[in-house]
Amino acid sequence: MTAPTKPPYGTAADSASERAPGEPLHSPVIDWFDEHARDLPWRRPEAGAWGVMVSEFMLQQTPVNRVLPVYEQWMARWPRPADLAAEAPGEAVRAWGRLGYPRRALRLHGAAVAITERHGGDVPSDHAQLLALPGIGEYTAAAVASFAYGQRHAVLDTNVRRVFARAVAGTQYPPNATTAAERRLARALLPEDAATAARWAAASMELGALVCTAKNEACHRCPIAAQCAWRLAGKPAHDGPPRRGQTYAGTDRQVRGRLLAVLREAHGPVPQAALDRVWHEPVQRARALDGLVSDGLVEPMPGGLYRLPLT
Protein backbone atom coordinates (compact mmCIF):
# COMPACT_ATOMS: atom_id res chain seq x y z
CA MET A 1 0.00 0.00 0.00
CA THR A 2 1.67 3.15 -1.15
CA ALA A 3 1.37 5.99 1.36
CA PRO A 4 0.72 9.32 -0.39
CA THR A 5 2.55 12.42 0.74
CA LYS A 6 1.04 13.79 3.90
CA PRO A 7 -0.93 17.01 3.21
CA PRO A 8 -1.54 19.83 5.68
CA TYR A 9 -4.55 19.62 7.96
CA GLY A 10 -7.15 22.27 8.66
CA THR A 11 -6.34 25.62 10.19
CA ALA A 12 -6.85 26.63 13.79
CA ALA A 13 -9.73 28.84 12.65
CA ASP A 14 -11.79 25.79 11.68
CA SER A 15 -14.73 25.49 14.05
CA ALA A 16 -15.98 22.18 15.41
CA SER A 17 -19.25 22.67 13.56
CA GLU A 18 -17.41 22.92 10.24
CA ARG A 19 -15.43 19.74 10.76
CA ALA A 20 -16.13 16.54 8.91
CA PRO A 21 -17.35 13.79 11.30
CA GLY A 22 -14.03 11.95 11.16
CA GLU A 23 -11.72 14.95 11.38
CA PRO A 24 -10.83 14.54 15.08
CA LEU A 25 -9.64 11.02 14.23
CA HIS A 26 -7.66 11.79 11.09
CA SER A 27 -4.64 13.62 12.47
CA PRO A 28 -3.81 11.29 15.41
CA VAL A 29 -4.24 8.12 13.32
CA ILE A 30 -2.21 9.43 10.39
CA ASP A 31 0.49 10.79 12.69
CA TRP A 32 0.67 7.38 14.38
CA PHE A 33 0.95 5.74 10.94
CA ASP A 34 3.81 8.07 9.99
CA GLU A 35 5.75 6.77 12.97
CA HIS A 36 4.72 3.12 13.17
CA ALA A 37 3.82 1.92 9.66
CA ARG A 38 5.57 -1.30 8.68
CA ASP A 39 8.05 -1.15 5.81
CA LEU A 40 6.29 -3.50 3.41
CA PRO A 41 7.40 -3.97 -0.20
CA TRP A 42 4.04 -3.08 -1.71
CA ARG A 43 4.13 0.27 0.10
CA ARG A 44 7.35 1.31 -1.59
CA PRO A 45 7.14 3.56 -4.67
CA GLU A 46 8.86 0.99 -6.88
CA ALA A 47 6.03 -1.49 -6.29
CA GLY A 48 3.73 0.52 -8.52
CA ALA A 49 0.06 -0.20 -9.06
CA TRP A 50 0.73 -3.80 -10.11
CA GLY A 51 2.59 -4.50 -6.88
CA VAL A 52 -0.28 -3.02 -4.89
CA MET A 53 -2.80 -5.15 -6.79
CA VAL A 54 -0.81 -8.35 -6.29
CA SER A 55 -0.51 -7.65 -2.57
CA GLU A 56 -4.24 -7.01 -2.23
CA PHE A 57 -5.09 -10.34 -3.84
CA MET A 58 -2.60 -12.19 -1.64
CA LEU A 59 -3.52 -10.48 1.62
CA GLN A 60 -7.18 -11.47 1.48
CA GLN A 61 -7.66 -13.74 4.53
CA THR A 62 -3.89 -14.33 4.71
CA PRO A 63 -1.43 -12.78 7.20
CA VAL A 64 1.44 -10.59 6.06
CA ASN A 65 4.19 -12.94 7.23
CA ARG A 66 2.89 -15.70 4.94
CA VAL A 67 2.42 -13.35 2.01
CA LEU A 68 5.86 -11.70 2.05
CA PRO A 69 8.01 -14.52 0.58
CA VAL A 70 5.43 -15.45 -2.06
CA TYR A 71 4.95 -11.80 -3.03
CA GLU A 72 8.70 -11.27 -3.48
CA GLN A 73 9.01 -14.37 -5.67
CA TRP A 74 5.92 -13.43 -7.67
CA MET A 75 7.08 -9.90 -8.41
CA ALA A 76 10.56 -11.09 -9.36
CA ARG A 77 9.06 -13.52 -11.85
CA TRP A 78 6.18 -11.36 -13.09
CA PRO A 79 7.08 -7.68 -12.56
CA ARG A 80 4.33 -6.52 -14.94
CA PRO A 81 0.83 -7.81 -15.70
CA ALA A 82 1.87 -8.80 -19.23
CA ASP A 83 4.53 -11.12 -17.82
CA LEU A 84 1.92 -13.06 -15.88
CA ALA A 85 -0.60 -12.93 -18.72
CA ALA A 86 1.91 -14.65 -21.02
CA GLU A 87 2.00 -17.69 -18.73
CA ALA A 88 -0.54 -20.49 -18.38
CA PRO A 89 -2.98 -19.94 -15.50
CA GLY A 90 -1.67 -23.14 -13.92
CA GLU A 91 1.67 -21.44 -13.38
CA ALA A 92 -0.07 -18.81 -11.26
CA VAL A 93 -1.65 -21.59 -9.20
CA ARG A 94 1.76 -23.26 -8.85
CA ALA A 95 3.47 -20.04 -7.73
CA TRP A 96 0.66 -19.33 -5.27
CA GLY A 97 2.11 -22.08 -3.12
CA ARG A 98 0.46 -22.55 0.25
CA LEU A 99 -1.19 -19.15 0.57
CA GLY A 100 -4.61 -20.78 0.55
CA TYR A 101 -7.78 -19.92 -1.36
CA PRO A 102 -5.98 -20.61 -4.66
CA ARG A 103 -8.84 -19.34 -6.80
CA ARG A 104 -7.32 -15.94 -6.04
CA ALA A 105 -4.36 -16.96 -8.24
CA LEU A 106 -6.66 -17.69 -11.18
CA ARG A 107 -8.49 -14.39 -10.65
CA LEU A 108 -5.23 -12.47 -10.52
CA HIS A 109 -4.10 -14.17 -13.72
CA GLY A 110 -7.41 -13.26 -15.35
CA ALA A 111 -7.00 -9.64 -14.24
CA ALA A 112 -3.47 -9.58 -15.69
CA VAL A 113 -4.77 -10.84 -19.04
CA ALA A 114 -7.51 -8.20 -19.09
CA ILE A 115 -5.07 -5.43 -18.12
CA THR A 116 -2.76 -6.49 -20.93
CA GLU A 117 -5.55 -6.68 -23.51
CA ARG A 118 -7.63 -3.66 -22.49
CA HIS A 119 -5.15 -1.24 -20.93
CA GLY A 120 -1.86 -1.81 -22.69
CA GLY A 121 -0.39 -3.62 -19.71
CA ASP A 122 -0.86 -0.78 -17.22
CA VAL A 123 -3.13 -1.18 -14.19
CA PRO A 124 -5.90 1.39 -14.76
CA SER A 125 -6.32 4.20 -12.27
CA ASP A 126 -10.05 4.68 -12.88
CA HIS A 127 -12.17 3.00 -10.20
CA ALA A 128 -14.83 1.85 -12.66
CA GLN A 129 -12.21 0.33 -14.96
CA LEU A 130 -10.64 -1.47 -12.02
CA LEU A 131 -14.02 -2.78 -10.95
CA ALA A 132 -14.62 -4.10 -14.49
CA LEU A 133 -11.54 -6.34 -14.33
CA PRO A 134 -12.22 -10.05 -13.67
CA GLY A 135 -11.76 -11.01 -10.05
CA ILE A 136 -11.86 -7.41 -8.81
CA GLY A 137 -14.55 -6.52 -6.29
CA GLU A 138 -15.43 -3.24 -4.60
CA TYR A 139 -12.80 -3.60 -1.89
CA THR A 140 -9.88 -4.37 -4.23
CA ALA A 141 -10.85 -1.65 -6.71
CA ALA A 142 -11.02 0.92 -3.90
CA ALA A 143 -7.75 -0.30 -2.36
CA VAL A 144 -5.78 -0.11 -5.62
CA ALA A 145 -7.24 3.30 -6.54
CA SER A 146 -6.44 4.58 -3.06
CA PHE A 147 -3.07 2.98 -2.24
CA ALA A 148 -1.57 3.05 -5.74
CA TYR A 149 -3.07 6.27 -7.11
CA GLY A 150 -3.83 8.36 -4.01
CA GLN A 151 -7.55 8.64 -4.72
CA ARG A 152 -10.41 9.23 -2.29
CA HIS A 153 -12.27 5.97 -1.65
CA ALA A 154 -13.63 4.16 1.38
CA VAL A 155 -11.43 1.07 1.80
CA LEU A 156 -13.22 -1.37 4.09
CA ASP A 157 -11.31 -4.49 5.05
CA THR A 158 -11.77 -6.46 8.28
CA ASN A 159 -9.22 -4.35 10.17
CA VAL A 160 -10.79 -1.02 9.17
CA ARG A 161 -14.28 -2.27 9.94
CA ARG A 162 -13.17 -3.30 13.43
CA VAL A 163 -11.54 0.10 14.11
CA PHE A 164 -14.69 1.92 13.02
CA ALA A 165 -16.97 -0.43 14.98
CA ARG A 166 -15.06 0.24 18.19
CA ALA A 167 -14.00 3.86 17.82
CA VAL A 168 -17.27 5.21 16.39
CA ALA A 169 -20.09 2.69 16.80
CA GLY A 170 -19.01 1.53 20.27
CA THR A 171 -19.21 -2.20 19.54
CA GLN A 172 -16.51 -4.81 19.96
CA TYR A 173 -16.85 -6.31 16.50
CA PRO A 174 -18.44 -5.32 13.19
CA PRO A 175 -21.17 -7.49 11.64
CA ASN A 176 -20.08 -10.73 10.00
CA ALA A 177 -20.72 -9.25 6.55
CA THR A 178 -20.19 -5.64 5.49
CA THR A 179 -23.42 -3.66 5.73
CA ALA A 180 -24.74 -0.57 3.96
CA ALA A 181 -24.53 1.28 7.29
CA GLU A 182 -20.82 0.51 7.53
CA ARG A 183 -20.25 1.81 4.01
CA ARG A 184 -22.12 5.01 4.82
CA LEU A 185 -20.05 5.48 7.96
CA ALA A 186 -16.80 4.88 6.08
CA ARG A 187 -17.74 7.46 3.46
CA ALA A 188 -18.73 9.95 6.17
CA LEU A 189 -15.37 9.52 7.89
CA LEU A 190 -13.34 10.10 4.72
CA PRO A 191 -11.22 13.24 4.66
CA GLU A 192 -12.23 15.61 1.86
CA ASP A 193 -8.73 15.90 0.44
CA ALA A 194 -7.87 12.91 -1.77
CA ALA A 195 -4.27 12.51 -0.60
CA THR A 196 -5.30 12.69 3.05
CA ALA A 197 -8.14 10.23 2.39
CA ALA A 198 -5.72 7.74 0.82
CA ARG A 199 -3.37 8.03 3.75
CA TRP A 200 -6.27 7.71 6.21
CA ALA A 201 -7.30 4.48 4.48
CA ALA A 202 -3.82 3.00 4.89
CA ALA A 203 -3.43 4.32 8.44
CA SER A 204 -6.77 3.04 9.76
CA MET A 205 -6.04 -0.36 8.22
CA GLU A 206 -2.62 -0.51 9.87
CA LEU A 207 -4.12 0.53 13.21
CA GLY A 208 -6.50 -2.40 13.06
CA ALA A 209 -3.72 -4.80 12.08
CA LEU A 210 -1.23 -3.79 14.77
CA VAL A 211 -3.13 -2.20 17.68
CA CYS A 212 -6.92 -2.58 17.49
CA THR A 213 -6.68 -6.31 16.86
CA ALA A 214 -9.49 -8.85 17.13
CA LYS A 215 -8.03 -10.22 20.37
CA ASN A 216 -5.84 -8.57 23.00
CA GLU A 217 -6.33 -5.04 21.68
CA ALA A 218 -3.53 -2.69 22.80
CA CYS A 219 -5.56 0.34 23.86
CA HIS A 220 -2.56 1.78 25.72
CA ARG A 221 -0.83 2.19 22.34
CA CYS A 222 -3.84 3.49 20.44
CA PRO A 223 -3.68 7.11 19.28
CA ILE A 224 -7.46 7.51 19.53
CA ALA A 225 -8.10 5.59 22.76
CA ALA A 226 -9.35 8.76 24.47
CA GLN A 227 -12.06 9.09 21.79
CA CYS A 228 -12.94 5.41 21.38
CA ALA A 229 -16.65 4.89 21.98
CA TRP A 230 -16.21 1.21 22.86
CA ARG A 231 -13.47 1.87 25.43
CA LEU A 232 -15.38 4.79 26.94
CA ALA A 233 -18.44 2.55 27.31
CA GLY A 234 -16.41 0.06 29.34
CA LYS A 235 -15.73 -2.34 26.46
CA PRO A 236 -19.11 -4.08 26.41
CA ALA A 237 -18.87 -7.67 25.20
CA HIS A 238 -20.06 -8.61 21.73
CA ASP A 239 -23.77 -9.44 21.81
CA GLY A 240 -24.41 -10.04 18.10
CA PRO A 241 -24.36 -13.28 16.09
CA PRO A 242 -21.53 -15.65 17.05
CA ARG A 243 -18.20 -14.87 15.45
CA ARG A 244 -17.38 -17.29 12.67
CA GLY A 245 -14.33 -19.37 13.48
CA GLN A 246 -12.15 -20.77 10.71
CA THR A 247 -11.47 -24.50 10.89
CA TYR A 248 -9.11 -26.32 8.57
CA ALA A 249 -8.14 -29.77 9.83
CA GLY A 250 -10.28 -32.47 8.25
CA THR A 251 -12.17 -30.08 5.97
CA ASP A 252 -12.51 -30.19 2.20
CA ARG A 253 -10.17 -27.19 2.15
CA GLN A 254 -7.42 -29.31 3.65
CA VAL A 255 -8.02 -32.10 1.13
CA ARG A 256 -8.01 -29.62 -1.76
CA GLY A 257 -4.74 -28.21 -0.48
CA ARG A 258 -3.12 -31.63 -0.39
CA LEU A 259 -4.32 -32.49 -3.88
CA LEU A 260 -3.04 -29.19 -5.27
CA ALA A 261 0.31 -29.68 -3.54
CA VAL A 262 0.86 -32.89 -5.52
CA LEU A 263 0.02 -31.14 -8.79
CA ARG A 264 2.16 -28.07 -8.00
CA GLU A 265 5.20 -30.22 -7.35
CA ALA A 266 4.75 -32.37 -10.45
CA HIS A 267 6.47 -31.55 -13.75
CA GLY A 268 3.74 -33.12 -15.82
CA PRO A 269 0.30 -34.74 -15.58
CA VAL A 270 -0.37 -36.76 -12.44
CA PRO A 271 -2.21 -40.11 -12.36
CA GLN A 272 -5.28 -40.61 -10.23
CA ALA A 273 -3.39 -43.10 -8.04
CA ALA A 274 -0.93 -40.40 -6.93
CA LEU A 275 -3.82 -38.18 -5.85
CA ASP A 276 -5.58 -41.04 -4.07
CA ARG A 277 -2.64 -41.42 -1.72
CA VAL A 278 -3.00 -37.95 -0.15
CA TRP A 279 -6.30 -38.59 1.66
CA HIS A 280 -7.72 -41.77 3.14
CA GLU A 281 -11.45 -41.02 2.78
CA PRO A 282 -12.49 -41.67 -0.84
CA VAL A 283 -15.82 -39.80 -0.87
CA GLN A 284 -14.37 -36.60 0.56
CA ARG A 285 -11.31 -36.91 -1.67
CA ALA A 286 -13.47 -37.27 -4.79
CA ARG A 287 -15.64 -34.33 -3.74
CA ALA A 288 -12.57 -32.16 -3.21
CA LEU A 289 -11.09 -33.13 -6.57
CA ASP A 290 -14.39 -32.48 -8.34
CA GLY A 291 -14.50 -29.06 -6.69
CA LEU A 292 -11.00 -28.23 -7.92
CA VAL A 293 -11.96 -29.22 -11.45
CA SER A 294 -15.19 -27.21 -11.25
CA ASP A 295 -13.25 -24.15 -10.01
CA GLY A 296 -10.83 -24.37 -12.93
CA LEU A 297 -7.87 -25.10 -10.67
CA VAL A 298 -7.31 -28.62 -12.00
CA GLU A 299 -7.66 -29.91 -15.56
CA PRO A 300 -8.66 -33.56 -16.13
CA MET A 301 -7.04 -35.38 -19.03
CA PRO A 302 -7.70 -38.69 -20.81
CA GLY A 303 -6.43 -41.79 -19.08
CA GLY A 304 -7.22 -40.65 -15.55
CA LEU A 305 -4.53 -37.98 -15.51
CA TYR A 306 -4.74 -34.50 -13.97
CA ARG A 307 -2.70 -31.29 -14.31
CA LEU A 308 -2.78 -27.62 -13.43
CA PRO A 309 -4.75 -25.63 -16.04
CA LEU A 310 -3.07 -24.55 -19.28
CA THR A 311 -5.91 -22.37 -20.56
Active site residues: 56
Torsion of CA 66, 67, 68, 74, to 10 degrees: 130
Number of Cβ within 10 Å of residue 161's Cβ equals 22
What is the Cα–Cα distance from 273 to 243, expressed in whole angstroms? 40
| Among 230, 225, 206, CA closest to 42 | 206
User: Residue 33 in contact with residue 147, Cβ under 8 Å?
Assistant: no
| Alpha helices (H) along 135-267 | 138-149, 158-164, 180-189, 194-210, 229-232, 252-265
Phi first, then psi: give them for residue 159, nearest 5 degrees. Answer: -65, -45
Residue 305: helix, strand or coil by DSSP?
strand
| Among 45, 64, 34, CA closest to 1 | 45
